Amino acid sequence: MLKTIEKIQQQITENPILLYMKGSPKLPGCGFSAQAVQVLSACGERFAYVDVLTNPNIRAELPTFAHWPTFPQLWVRGELIGGCDIIVDMYHRGELLTLIKEAIVKYNSQENHS
């Protein structure tokens, strides 16, 4: 069985767009997670998520691993983008959509060449 940090690293590696959040996209467990889901959904691409409420080990260890204390956390192509405020700000500036679209294009081109 994978250790929690190995599991986190695997999730981040395998998913071009990954949101660690409280709850699920359909039933967010907090207002910040709900806002993050809303702006990510508005970008029009599918994204993976991990519910930290049902994964207490990830909830405990991810803040230390990421050097980011709160949830949600958005990871794009293996890089921590930030939490709710940063995601929403990037969305309003048009940067989030660009980042998400580029991530999907790069991910799809890698998938087709492997």
Residue 106 among known ligand-binding residues: no
Which residues fall within 8 angstroms of residue 95, CB to CB, at 6 or more apart? none
> Is the separation of the CB atoms in 37 and 25 below 8 Å?
yes
Which tokens hold the place of 47?
């994204």
Residue 77 among known ligand-binding residues: no
Residue 46 among known ligand-binding residues: no
Residue 59 among known ligand-binding residues: yes
Residue carrying the six token digits 């998938």: 111
Q: Tell me the CB-side half-sphere exposure of residue 56, using CA atoms within 13 A.
A: 0
Extract the annotated binding site.
22, 30, 59, 71, 84-85
Extract the annotated binding site for glutathione.
22, 59, 71, 84-85
Extract the annotated binding site for [2Fe-2S] cluster.
30
